[in-house]
Structure 1
Amino acid sequence: MDVLTSFERLSDEEKYEHFMKRIEAGEKIEADDWMPEEYRQTLIKLISMHGISEIMGALPEKEWVPKAPTLRRKLGIMAKVQDEMGHGQLLLRVAEDLMKPYGRNREDIMQDLFTGRLKFHNVFHMPAPTWGDAGLIGWLVDGAAIMTQTNMLKASYGPYARALQRICAEEVFHAQHGEAIIMALAEGTEEQKALIQDSLNRWWDSLLMFFGPASADTTGSSKQDITVKYKIRSKTNEQLRQDFFSKYVPRILSLGLEIPDETMHYDKENETWVYQQPDWNEFKNIVKNNGPKSKDRLDLRKNAYDQNAWVRKALSPDNQAI
């Protein structure tokens, strides 16, 4: 109690210095610990977006559960959809703990999604019209997600770092699931190979946008600098994108596929991949829920949420979302 009293006597500036020393020393911040408002708000926005993206990200693949070509593939993609929904629920629990000081909860997160205040990942606004898309989502989209999430495994916020341990382990299986679909198509007929190339052509810009803009100048946002400052993650958007290129460009080419960017090459002198930038204005438009499938997927999510309100009411006497 004496230690707590001593800490409470500190000024906000002194508390901030103490907080920064803790994360610089590699300590984990817990939900009940003092934290700067900027840190809390950054975490709420990041983890809420991550959780909602896991839930919305299950929808493109959910469409393929009844259409998958074999029973084995149906079971595989069904299990993947269940995992993604579970990831979303786990992350929203983590976000809820951070929101308690504001009297907000899961219901508020969902309403923020439906009103457009809370965004979800750009890739999940896109259509998935072919079985090639289902494979590519698992192989490359989940591959990109693994890079982003493993970058935060040592996040300074303990509950998020611990949740990511489980999520990343399961995402590895998701990527293997997607790769298995792609390899089967690549070893198939010319028509099946063309299916992969068509999917890659349509998804390429979305994959580049997955990691976000390289700098604040592109979108007017400096959130990546804040997350690095607070040791929520260690690499910038561009570093993650370069890692993605280094891992996946050789694999894509090994399948006889073409990168849909004639300018792309590896600059040995600077040890970086040179590539054509996607349209970042389009990126901003997509995440504002103006993507090809934004409305359909939001409507589907809202209808499911409204139709199952009775379940939440039955399980929660005060009718709070759980």
Structure 2
Amino acid sequence: MYNYLEYGSSDAPRNHEDPEQYDRFMARIEAGEKIEADDWMPDDYRQGLIKLISMHGISEIMGALPEKEWVPKAPTLKRKLGIMAKVQDEMGHGQLLLRVAEDLMKPYGKTRKDLIENLLSGDLKFHNVFHMPTKTWADAGMVGWLVDGAAIISQTNMLDASYGPYQRALQRICQEEVFHAQHGEAIIMALAEGSDHQREILQESLNRWWPSLLMFFGPASADTTGSSKQDIMIKYKIRKSNNEELRQAFLDKYLPRVFSLGLTVPDETVHYDEEQGQWVYQQPDWDEFKQIIKNKGPRSKERLRLRQIAYENNSWVRQALSKEVVGS
């Protein structure tokens, strides 16, 4: 939820200058009412939602690609069917979220097509974890168990979001993500209970994914990268917790599970500080994070190229639908 998209202020309907209208808007939010797509909303509320939801939607689509690589290589038919179903779910989540974002973009004359083109041009970013390679079958489990586990923590934090269409979409998405996490956990448990070689593969996978998992929630404050919009999202009751609170919730939930499997994390400083009431850990390389979300990660170019090929190969479908709409 960082740098995803920016429509210039000159394109925005300047609707935030009426203080009475703004006060009524805030009173609705404070009362727990849901804002709908056709309702009046301040510019920074609309802009923040477009960035958040478009990045979320695109990340669901791009996030299917690392696991898609393992569909033909899954070790059993059961595993193949499971990961195929998960990939289909993630693509469906992306389509659902891009429709939600599209409604917010109407005042700018933008559509889902613009979002895909912004992704391919590098203007719309996708989540840092989906720039990473999936080298082994353990990585497929790691994505389901810990990456989707982190996503559940992030998304359930917004289950009561003030923007109704997003809140309702999250209700469905989170239910399906729980199954995805269970799918990943089943893979992890099978490897953890397997041979010494399987456990070595599992530990190696965790070592590689650990920095990306810490980066998942973004920097603790805007000062780190200058791009965090978490304060605005909390102000408008889109989300409840800040980035560090979400990261601590992830560590609270998953570090005990990791240790219970006899696994370790590649950070000798990790420990729970009783006085502070939180986990102490070594900060990831936030400069590397900034490079990754600029599409300079290990698999950024390959994944964007796959998306480009799919977009080009299916252009005839968009053209046919466009002609059908015009003809009707």
Given that residues 219 and 228 in structure 2 are in contact (C-alpha distance below 8 angstroms), is that contact kept between their aligned partners in structure 1? no
Given that residues 156 and 232 in structure 1 are in contact (C-alpha distance below 8 angstroms), is that contact kept between their aligned partners in structure 2? yes
State the secondary structure of the residue aligned to 2:279.
strand
**CA distance in structure 2 between the aligned counterparts of 1:246 and 1:11, rounded to whole angstroms:** 43
**CA distance in structure 1 between the aligned counterparts of 2:137 and 2:49, rounded to whole angstroms:** 35
Within the candidate set 77, 81, 84, 1:75 is matched to: 81
Letter in 2 for 1:185: L
Identity %: 76
**CA distance in structure 1 between the aligned counterparts of 2:78 and 2:273, rounded to whole angstroms:** 42
State the secondary structure of the residue aligned to 1:233.
coil
Once the two structures are superposed, what CA deviation does each residue of 1:147-175 show, in whole Å capped at 9, x if it has no partner? 00000000000000000000000000000
Once the two structures are superposed, what CA deviation does each residue of 1:26-45 show, in whole Å capped at 9, x if it has no partner? 11000000000100000001
Q: CA deviation at 1:316?
A: 2.2
2:197 is aligned to 191
- Moved >3 Å (runs of 4+): none
Given that residues 57 and 93 in structure 2 are in contact (C-alpha distance below 8 angstroms), is that contact kept between their aligned partners in structure 1? yes
Given that residues 312 and 319 in structure 1 are in contact (C-alpha distance below 8 angstroms), is that contact kept between their aligned partners in structure 2? no
Q: Which runs of 5+ in 1 are unaligned?
A: 1-9
Taking the TM superposition and a 5 Å limit, the aligned residue runs for 1:22-171 are: 22-171=28-177
1:175 maps to 2:175? no
State the secondary structure of the residue aligned to 2:323.
coil
Letter in 2 for 1:44: I
Question: TM-score, normalization: structure 2?
Answer: 0.93
Q: CA deviation at 1:221?
A: 2.5
**CA distance in structure 2 between the aligned counterparts of 1:257 and 1:69, rounded to whole angstroms:** 23
Letter in 2 for 1:153: L
Given that residues 144 and 183 in structure 2 are in contact (C-alpha distance below 8 angstroms), is that contact kept between their aligned partners in structure 1? yes
Q: How many residues align?
A: 312
**CA distance in structure 2 between the aligned counterparts of 1:118 and 1:140, rounded to whole angstroms:** 24
1:13 maps to 2:24? no
2:249 is aligned to 243
Within the candidate set 292, 301, 304, 1:298 is matched to: 304
Letter in 1 for 2:91: M
Q: CA deviation at 1:259?
A: 1.4
Letter in 2 for 1:313: Q
Given that residues 55 and 85 in structure 1 are in contact (C-alpha distance below 8 angstroms), is that contact kept between their aligned partners in structure 2? yes
**CA distance in structure 2 between the aligned counterparts of 1:319 and 1:38, rounded to whole angstroms:** 33
**CA distance in structure 1 between the aligned counterparts of 2:58 and 2:17, rounded to whole angstroms:** 36
Q: CA deviation at 1:217?
A: 1.1
1:310 is aligned to 316
**CA distance in structure 1 between the aligned counterparts of 2:227 and 2:300, rounded to whole angstroms:** 22
Given that residues 313 and 319 in structure 1 are in contact (C-alpha distance below 8 angstroms), is that contact kept between their aligned partners in structure 2? no
Question: TM-score, normalization: structure 1?
Answer: 0.95
Letter in 2 for 1:103: G
Give the superposed CA RMSD: 1.4
**CA distance in structure 2 between the aligned counterparts of 1:58 and 1:104, rounded to whole angstroms:** 25
Q: CA deviation at 1:319?
A: 8.4
2:3 is aligned to none
